[in-house]
């Protein structure tokens, strides 16, 4: 019986858009100058994005995709080695290209995926004594973050691991910034939960979308089945 499909292991060239910075307004300005929206020759042009810079805003990729589509670019893949962006790319339905993975090898039944595993955090947590003031940012790179105080409105706390807040969270909290493989184990915990925004492994909700029944209480925010989950502590 003949096969229904034939997979050809060949290169298929697509234009690559290299993103040098993470300023959406600046990218829009440059696109407006170089690629007019009314250009009929650029109707639905598939492309691959390449992003090497650090991205803190968990909404950046979604904003970028929407902007590029306005200019008739159709991103089909993302080239990056940053795990946080890979998580967002999967959610957006983009193919992932990076130096650690050869897509052609995915069709090799003997492929060993163990090398792609992400190591668990081994560093001691970063402990911040006191409040995190408005417009202040605290980042725990490669570890958990413990805040022994409040995270005030306008402040940001970011961790590659978990975030534990012993006081009130009224600012923004981003846990799992590195996009770790064990996403189900990453969480944000706050003794009093009233955030402007909460994010776990790149998936976020703003204050207006957070269930009101959890506001002002001790809450744990996790991630499961492509959505944020909430429970009382």
Full-model pTM: 0.51
Q: Is residue 48 part of a domain?
A: yes
Q: How far is CA 90 from the centre of its chain?
A: 10
User: For the chain, how many structural domains are there in total?
Assistant: 2
Domain holding 28, by residue range, is 16-116
Domain annotation covers residue 88: yes
Q: Within 10 A of 102 (CB to CB), how many other CB atoms are there? A: 12
Is residue 111 very low, low, confident or very high in pLDDT (cuts 50, 70, 90)?
very low
CB-CB contact of 84 with 57 (8 Å): no
Q: Are residues 105 and 136 in the same domain?
A: no
pLDDT at 205 over 70: yes
Backbone CA torsion sign across 42, 43, 46, 48: positive
Q: CA-CA distances (angstroms) from residue 39 to 6, 31, 33, 45, 204?
A: 36, 12, 12, 11, 35
| Whether residues 149 and 224 fall in one domain | yes
In a domain, 121, yes or no: no
Q: Is residue 204 part of a domain?
A: yes
Q: Are 162 and 187 in contact (CB under 8 A)?
A: yes
Residue 112 has pLDDT above 80, yes or no: no
User: pLDDT tens, 77-97?
Assistant: 888 877 777 777 776 777 777
Give the pLDDT confidence score for residue 9 in this predicted structure. 47
Where does the pLDDT of residue 118 fall: very low under 50, low under 70, confident under 90, or very high at 90 and above? Answer: very low
Mean pLDDT across 121-133: 86
Q: What is the CATH number of the domain that holds 228?
A: 2.160.20.70
Same domain, 41 and 102: yes
Residue 229 is predicted with a pLDDT of 93
Among 53, 86, 116, residue at a domain's last position: 116
* Residue 184 to residue 122: CA distance in whole angstroms: 18
Task: Specify whether 102 is located in the same domain as 27.
Answer: yes
Cα-Cα-Cα-Cα torsion 220, 156, 186, 191, nearest 10 degrees, comes to: -20
130 and 228 share one domain: yes
The reply to whether 103 and 162 lie within a common domain is: no
Is the same domain home to 136 and 84?
Answer: no
Picking from 84, 116, 148, the residue at the C-terminal end of a domain is: 116
Is residue 191 scored above 80 in pLDDT?
yes
3 in a domain, yes or no?
Answer: no
- Integer Cα distance of 8 and 229 in angstroms: 41
């Amino acid at each position: 019986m003949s096969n229904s499909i034939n997979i050809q292991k060949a290169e298929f060239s697509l234009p690559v858009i290299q993103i040098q910075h993470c300023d959406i307004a600046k990218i829009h300005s440059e696109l407006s100058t170089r690629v007019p929206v009314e250009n009929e020759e650029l109707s639905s042009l598939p492309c691959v994005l390449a992003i090497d810079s650090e991205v803190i805003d968990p909404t950046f990729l979604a904003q970028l995709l929407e902007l590029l589509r306005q200019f008739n670019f159709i991103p089909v893949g993302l080239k990056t080695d940053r795990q946080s962006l890979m998580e967002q790319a999967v959610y957006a339905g983009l193919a992932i290209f990076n130096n650690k993975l050869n897509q052609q090898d995915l069709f090799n039944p003997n492929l060993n995926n163990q090398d792609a595993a992400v190591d668990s955090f081994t560093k001691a947590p970063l402990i911040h004594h006191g409040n995190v003031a408005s417009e202040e940012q605290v980042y725990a790179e490669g570890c958990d973050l413990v805040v022994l105080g409040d995270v005030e409105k306008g402040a940001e706390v970011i961790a590659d691991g978990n975030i534990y807040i012993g006081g009130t969270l009224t600012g923004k909290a981003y846990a799992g910034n590195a996009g770790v493989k064990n996403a189900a184990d990453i969480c944000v915990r706050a003794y009093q939960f009233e955030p402007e925004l909460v994010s776990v492994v790149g998936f976020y909700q703003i204050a207006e979308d957070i269930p009101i029944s959890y506001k002002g209480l001790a809450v744990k925010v996790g991630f499961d089945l492509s959505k944020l989950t909430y429970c009382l502590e």
